[in-house]
Homo-oligomer: A and B are copies of this chain.
C-alpha cells in the first residue's frame, strides 16, 4: 500500500552533492572531485573507494555548477521558424542525435516569423549561456527574423539563408535534380518535363537549371519548366497544360516534379486521363515525404534531401566551432539521394 504522504512529496529530496560523497568517503571535496574525474594523484584504492561511494549514493555532478566554472554549458540552441513543417523535424532529430552522445542538450526555439519572439528566444538562450546556435528554417533562401551576426558564440545555419561569412549547410538541390533526371535518362526516357513551384523560391531555379543542364549535356531538346505552386492542384493543372492538346508527338515521357505534392497531383491527373504511370510517363518527386510518396499509386520515386544527415552535420560543425576549431565559412552543400519506388519505371532491358 502506498500512502499519500509517501507518494506526494516524492520530488522533495535534493540531489546528492559532491560534498556528501566526500564526507561519506572520508575525504575532502577536492580529492573526491579529482577521483571522479581521473585527475590529480592518489592511491588507486582511494580513488576506487570514492568512486564506489559516489556510485552507491547515486551521485551525478551538477551541470550548472560545472558550466559556471568551465564556461561551457554543453547546451546549444536550435532556432526554427518551420513550426508545422516537415523539414525541421528530421533536421532537429539529426541535430539532437549528433549531440546527445557528447552530452550536449538542445534548446528548441520556435520563432515563427516573429521578430519579437526571435529576440526573446535568442536572449533567453544567451542568458542560459548556450555554447552555440543552430539556425534552421523552412526555406533555403530566407533569413530567420533574427540577427545572429554579432553574437559572441558560434552560429551554424542549416537549411536557411546564412549571414555572410557564416557557416551554412544546405542540401545540394542541383545535385538532387541531376540524380532524378539522370535516372530517367538511364531508363531510356528522353522527353523529360519539369513541373515545379513558384518563381519566388531559389530552389525552383536551382533545380530547373540542373534539369536543363543534364538535358543539354545529353544533347536533348530543352523546354521551359512549368512554374506554379507547391500543391497537388498545380500538379493537376500542369498535366492539363502538358497533355492538353491530344495527339501531339512532343508530349513528355517523364515528369520531374519540384516536390512530392506536385508529383502526387501529376500522377492522379495522369491516371484520370488514362495515361499509365510509369509505362507511358515516369514521375519523380522531390523531398521524399514518405507519407505522401508511399500513398501515391504507384508509390513515388523521389529525391531525398537527407535532412537528418544535414542536421547531424550541422550539430558536429557547431561543436567543432565551439571547440575553437576554425571552420571554413561559406555554404557547404550536402548530397541528396534518390529513393526509387515504382513511379519512374524500370530499365528497358
Contacts and interface: CB of A to CB of B under 8 A. Distances in A.
B129 A63 contact: yes
Interface string A1-28: 0000001101111110000000000000
A84 B89 contact: yes
A34 interface: no
B117 A62 contact: no
A315 to B, nearest CB: 12
A10 B68 contact: no
B105 A11 contact: no
Question: Quick one: which of A105, A123, A126, A232 has the most chain B CB within 10 A?
Answer: A105
Interface string A169-187: 0000000000000000000
Contact of A232 (B89, B105, B295): B295
Contact of A124 (B10, B100, B123): B100
Interface stretch (A106-114, A191-199, A216-224): A106-114
Interface string A139-153: 000000000001111
B106 A108 contact: yes
A228 interface: no
Contacts of A290: 84
A166 B96 CA distance: 27
Interface in A18-63: 60-63
List the number of copies, as a whole number: 2
A64 B75 CA distance: 12
A202 interface: no
B108 A96 contact: yes
Contact of A8 (B68, B86, B88, B326): B326
A78 B109 CA distance: 12
A97 interface: yes
Contacts of A62: 68, 127, 129
Nearest to A261: B295
A63 B290 CA distance: 41
A110 B123 contact: no
Given A89-B83, A151-B11, A295-B233, A120 B108 contact: no
B100 A117 contact: yes
A151 B60 CA distance: 14
Interface of A: 7-8, 10-15, 60-65, 67-68, 71, 73-75, 78, 83-86, 88-90, 92-93, 96-97, 100-101, 103, 105-110, 117, 120-121, 123-129, 150-154, 165, 231-233, 261, 264-265, 268, 290-291, 295, 326
6 contacts: A64-B128, A83-B89, A84-B290, A96-B110, A106-B107, A106-B109
